[in-house]
Structure 1
Amino acid sequence: MHYESFAPTDSLKKLVKEYWIFENEDPTIQAQKIIPDGFSEIIIHYGESYRINLSGRWEPQASMLFSSQISKFFFLENTGRSGIIGIKLHPTAFYELFQKDVADYTDRVVALDETLHGKVYDLRTLKQHDISINQRVQLAENWLEGQLQNLQPQSKVKHCVESIFASHGMIDIDQMAEDVQLSTRQLERLFKKVIGLSPKFYCRIIRFNYIFEVMKEQKDSWIRTALQSGFFDQSHFIKNFKEFTGEEPSNYGFDDVNLANFFLKK
């Protein structure tokens, strides 16, 4: 099993958080839980196909996908050997690049060619089996570079997202709206269009993600972890954690080698 991540070039670092590769030559079928992390992704499978369970039913996945913001955990399952490259986009990037109302894709993982139509032709090369990891990343970079001509920056929402990350999700929404000279309702509408979630719910996801940063430094006190992560008490902390993972923190495998921890723990 092999995970690896790559930083984008300077021209794309405001749009792309990272590229990631996951390869596994073991064909054993294994279901894996995916947990919200606040980012959307473009995903290309060059290994065997996967199945997805978003709402209690397993369905086959396309080989090229757009995974938007998710508000709850879901499951993926391989059907054989795995080979995946992911383009993890900064939260505003999909809208900035393609001007698609991201709220239409929330809690969905959709076939990329149905979403972007003719714009994905050059990405099909990534599905080839006989190219290196570095070549895959370079091809993804080249494709994204070709989309920059249509870029429409969203400075107000981007500023808000940066504030949310800087505060670990612990920020006042009304004040944030005032900072970008919008009413709270205007910000909510714009945020849903560009990000796919309300700013309040997005803050909850980022605060939840911060738990994993805290847990890397201390594992001896759930109360300290809860308080440092912005929760008023341990019960509120446990309820929030269970909502996003389906498990209580005491039962969660923070040290397990899986896709969820790969993204959240780094």
Structure 2
Amino acid sequence: MRYREIEPNGFLNNFVKCFWYYETTDTEIQHTILPDGYFDLIAEFENETLTTVKLTGIWTKPKDIQIPNNTKFFAIRFKLIAIEYIFQKEIKSILDSIVNLPFSFWSIDKYKSNEFEKFVSEITSNLDTSIKHLKQIDSRKLKLFDSVYEQKTKTVAEISSTVFWSSRQINRYFQTQFGITLKEFLNIVRCNATYEEISNGNLNPNSDYFDQAHFIKEIRKYTGATPKVLNQNKNDRFLQLSKMD
């Protein structure tokens, strides 16, 4: 398999984590996708032909997927704030699932399977333009997501105090838009932040977990596996850990 990421620059970084490319060869592959606190727009090509355009919801539990041989993915990994301002909708209705989109969505059907860089360049330009025409963006939301994704704040109370937004209002916003609470979002992002350490062989908890038992319990809750099993990553089962090798 081949995997690569391209991260955006400038203000778009508030909405997009990265563009990513994935390719299988002549072997079918099975992966388990782990919760990471993002959602994805994915275009799938099989044998050079576009076969699917889909939007994933937020994953709160591991998802097993089977990827056929000779498959390519062009994809965009979005931060949660993008659903409101770029897609202008909610995403709670597809929590832990996906929805298929028309091939013509964002003119994705015009790209050939060997034009990932063109896809990134043109989608980036289009998103930059659309963001400039957005209604005023709530600065509290920008600050909230920046704080969480960058691990600057670790609890609901800290975030509420930092962004001057009551925890009750924040949770109402999260439930309405995403179908999860802020606390669960924090837990998922915290779990995602451990994947690199686990991939590198560090199976001990950091200061974000009370002790080893709490660490193992939380990792198992969101990944379905212990840190030891994640580290072994047999047959590249866990894609998010494989790309860190």
The question of a shared fold, defined as TM-score above 0.5 by the shorter chain, is answered with yes
For 1:241 and 1:112, the matched residues in 2 are separated by: 32
For 2:63 and 2:182, the matched residues in 1 are separated by: 22
Q: In the alignment, which residue of structure 2 is the partner of 1:133?
A: 116
Q: In the alignment, which residue of structure 1 is the partner of 2:108?
A: 123
TM-score, length of structure 1 as denominator length = 0.78
Residue type at the aligned position of 2:39: S
State yes or no: 1:45 paired with 2:70.
no
Residue type at the aligned position of 1:259: L
Q: In the alignment, which residue of structure 2 is the partner of 1:157?
A: 141
Residues 66 and 183 of structure 1: CA distance in aligned 2, closer, same or farther (over 3 Å)? same
Residues 82 and 150 of structure 1: CA distance in aligned 2, closer, same or farther (over 3 Å)? same
Contact 1:241 1:248 in 2 (8 A): yes
For 2:36 and 2:63, the matched residues in 1 are separated by: 12
Q: In the alignment, which residue of structure 2 is the partner of 1:185?
A: 168
State the shift of 1:212 in Å.
Answer: 2.1
State yes or no: 1:94 paired with 2:70.
no
Q: In the alignment, which residue of structure 2 is the partner of 1:13?
A: 13
What runs of 5+ residues in structure 1 fail to find an aligned partner? 50-61
Aligned match for 1:111, one of 69, 80, 100: 100
- CA distances 1:147-177 after superposition (whole Å, capped 9, x unpaired): 3365342422231222223437x62313422
SS in 2 for 1:244: helix
For 2:146 and 2:84, the matched residues in 1 are separated by: 16
Contact 1:45 1:84 in 2 (8 A): yes
For 1:146 and 1:180, the matched residues in 2 are separated by: 27
Contact 2:7 2:18 in 1 (8 A): yes
Residues 31 and 67 of structure 1: CA distance in aligned 2, closer, same or farther (over 3 Å)? same
What runs of 5+ residues in structure 2 fail to find an aligned partner? none
Contact 1:92 1:154 in 2 (8 A): no
For 1:88 and 1:262, the matched residues in 2 are separated by: 17
Between stretches 174-183 and 241-250, larger displacement belongs to 174-183
SS in 2 for 1:100: coil
- CA distances 1:61-110 after superposition (whole Å, capped 9, x unpaired): x6101112111001111233110011111221121112212222221211
Residues 259 and 151 of structure 1: CA distance in aligned 2, closer, same or farther (over 3 Å)? farther
For 1:8 and 1:173, the matched residues in 2 are separated by: 28
Residue type at the aligned position of 1:159: K
Q: In the alignment, which residue of structure 1 is the partner of 2:4?
A: 4
Equivalences for 1:21-32 in 2 at 5 Å?
Answer: 21-26=21-26, 28-32=27-31
Aligned length: 240
State the shift of 1:254 in Å.
Answer: 5.1
SS in 1 for 2:12: coil
Identity of aligned residues (%): 22
- CA distances 1:199-221 after superposition (whole Å, capped 9, x unpaired): 100111111122224336663xx
SS in 1 for 2:14: coil
Q: In the alignment, which residue of structure 1 is the partner of 2:181?
A: 198
Contact 1:20 1:87 in 2 (8 A): yes
State yes or no: 1:259 paired with 2:239.
yes
State the shift of 1:146 in Å.
Answer: 5.1
Q: CA RMSD in A?
A: 2.7
State the shift of 1:143 in Å.
Answer: 4.0
Q: In the alignment, which residue of structure 1 is the partner of 2:219?
A: 241
For 1:138 and 1:171, the matched residues in 2 are separated by: 34
Aligned match for 2:57, one of 68, 72, 81: 68
For 1:229 and 1:123, the matched residues in 2 are separated by: 43
Between stretches 158-167 and 180-189, larger displacement belongs to 158-167
For 2:222 and 2:162, the matched residues in 1 are separated by: 29
State the shift of 1:112 in Å.
Answer: 2.5
For 2:18 and 2:70, the matched residues in 1 are separated by: 23
TM-score, length of structure 2 as denominator length = 0.84
